Amino acid sequence: MYKVFVNDKPIIITSSSKNDENFPVYIFKNINVNEILVRLKSDDLDGVYLFTDNLEHDWQVFRSYFKVVTAGGGLVLNSQNDFLFIYRGNKWDLPKGRIEKGESIEETAIREVEEECGVTNLKLQQFLLKTYHVFYYNDEARLKETFWYLMKTNYTGKLTPQTEEGITDVVFKTSEEVTQAFQNTYANIQLVYQTYLAL
């Protein structure tokens, strides 16, 4: 199964007949991807299942509709097991950013966390998951594929938001504060956290 968010509404590409969300189900080969995007951007659909009997093939077909942007990011825990969050665009988010030429995706994830938060001494623990969302740049639909890693740090210094990236706050949050932050975050960020909790 692949889950791609458009304005926090999921496109679920699946070979399973389960429909946990009660979204409409369409046969992948019969749909127009651009039409689905338009309907999700409006309030016509809250989410959709696209059923396929050839998941990997049709996932590549779906990707071919977009310029794919690769990014890396981190779910960072400190010595108190608090979680590092950024505040950008009036939402709580996790630090992440685009891969640069010559970098491994792991290097990208560490660099972006350091740059966006002013944190150091990051230790990569393990890969968590990939998330996908559609965004628009100059009216062109792009697919952001973000590789998320669990990281730890013993950093206790001042956190510095990367204001030129639109980040206005950086904080470590307790589990209770994370639950509160999730009243104002993105669906993909909740997926990252849920993946961590399931470890």
Are residue 27 and residue 54 in the same domain, yes or no?
yes
Where is the domain boundary, 42, 63, 84? 63
CATH code assigned at 189: 3.90.79.10
β-sheet bridge partners, residue 103: none
Asked if residue 118 has pLDDT above 90, the reply is yes
Domain containing 57: what range? 2-63
Can you read off the two tokens belonging to residue 196?
A: 């961590």
Are residue 122 and residue 34 in the same domain, yes or no?
no
Are residue 37 and residue 75 in the same domain, yes or no?
no
Radius of gyration in angstroms for the set of CA atoms belonging to the chain, rounded to a whole number = 18
- Given 3-state DSSP classes, what are the helix, strand and coil percentages for the chain, each rounded to the nearest 5? 30, 40, 30
The full 3-state SS of 156-185, as one line of letters, equals CCCCCCCHHHCEEEEEEECHHHHHHHHHHC
Where is the domain boundary, 41, 63, 85? 63
User: Is-contact 94 132, C-beta < 8 A?
Assistant: no
Q: Where are the beta strands (DSSP E) in 78-187?
A: 83-88, 91-93, 96-98, 122-137, 140-153, 167-173
Are residue 145 and residue 160 in the same domain, yes or no?
yes
pTM for the predicted model, two decimal places: 0.96
Are residue 31 and residue 110 in the same domain, yes or no?
no
Closest by CA position to 76, among listed 64, 60, 89, 94: 94
Average pLDDT, the chain: 96
User: Is-contact 159 87, C-beta < 8 A?
Assistant: no
Q: What is the pLDDT of residues 53-75, one digit of tens each?
A: 999 999 999 999 999 999 999 99
Where is the domain boundary, 45, 63, 81? 63
Q: What is the pLDDT of residues 1-35, one digit of tens each?
A: 999 999 999 999 999 988 788 899 999 999 999 99
